[in-house]
Amino acid sequence: MDKYYKPSGRFSLIFLFYFLLVSVIAFPILGLIYAYFIWYIPFIYINFFITIGFGFLIGFFISIIVIKKGKVRNPLLGFIIGLAGAFLALYFHWAIWIDLVINAGESYGSNRIGITVSNIQFLQVFSLIFRPDLVFEYINQVNGYGTWGIRGATVSGTFLWIIWAIEFIIVVAISGFLPYLEAKKPFSESNNSWYQEIILPPFNYIENQQQIIADLLAGNRDIFDLLNENVDSEKDSHSVFTLYRSKSGKNYLSIDNKTSKIDNKGNIKFDSNQIVEYIAVNSELSKLLLDK
């Protein structure tokens, strides 16, 4: 048995069907929601987190539907699928957002903070989606005069291109990274199914990280004797064990240390440090761990 899991690089062509499915259902809906959020929330700092959420949701849907159901075991392909999904979702968003610009109505508020009422016309959006030349032409026009501002100053030109570029990078990076990680997870080629993923209750913090790796590789039965669940995972430093089980009898284990720290506001935060990822463990060690 290999010491660590390695993806086979294989995939099922059925992933194309699932990608088409999310492309015609999930991505337009996400693009619609994102466009309205960006349009009606006039706070750039809040919009930054909305953008992160948009990228996360794209990556999430691709991971659980396209990668999981499509049985993609090729991390590079998973990343490429994530990129393609991000481009499509962003394009839907732009077509919808441009339609909001076209149908902009009354503005309310002040020079510093305000909103402009607008709603899309579905037939108009539908026609825009099939006219990318018009979409990009409108984008260039919007960049010339801007539609929103910061502290009373309208954002346009080079500065607006930079903001849009940052938005694009955030969405694409997150959307590509999540499917990449999903495609790396253990898959049983003999059973043609993903391993069962079991996240165990938090254990005490692992001090000697190299020793636990060596013990796992050696199949040491005493390896888990010092583990205990007597930790407050909301406050204390702790470790997280994730076991991957299969009917084939092969099992894999990932371990992360979570180090507790207090930020400037007095809130408890955790730094994550991966000790080992997808290391092979035999059935006996798996049972010992599950019985802890």
**Domain range for 76:** 15-184
Task: List, for residues 162-188, the tens digit of each pLDDT value.
Answer: 999 999 999 999 999 999 999 999 999
Q: What is the pTM of this model?
A: 0.90
Q: Is position 173 within any domain?
A: yes
Q: Domain total for the chain?
A: 2
pLDDT of residue 247: 80
Does 69 fall in a domain? Answer: yes
pLDDT tens track for 28-80: 999 999 999 999 987 888 999 999 999 999 999 999 999 999 999 999 999 99
Q: Does 179 share its domain with 252? A: no
User: Residue 272's pLDDT is what?
Assistant: 95
Mean pLDDT of 262-268: 88
Does 214 lie in the same domain as 282?
Answer: yes
Which of these three, 184, 200, 232, is where a domain ends?
184
Q: What is the largest CA-CA distance in the chain?
A: 71
As a whole number, the mean pLDDT across the chain is 92
Per-residue pLDDT, 78: 98
Q: Is residue 21 very low, low, confident or very high in pLDDT (cuts 50, 70, 90)?
A: very high
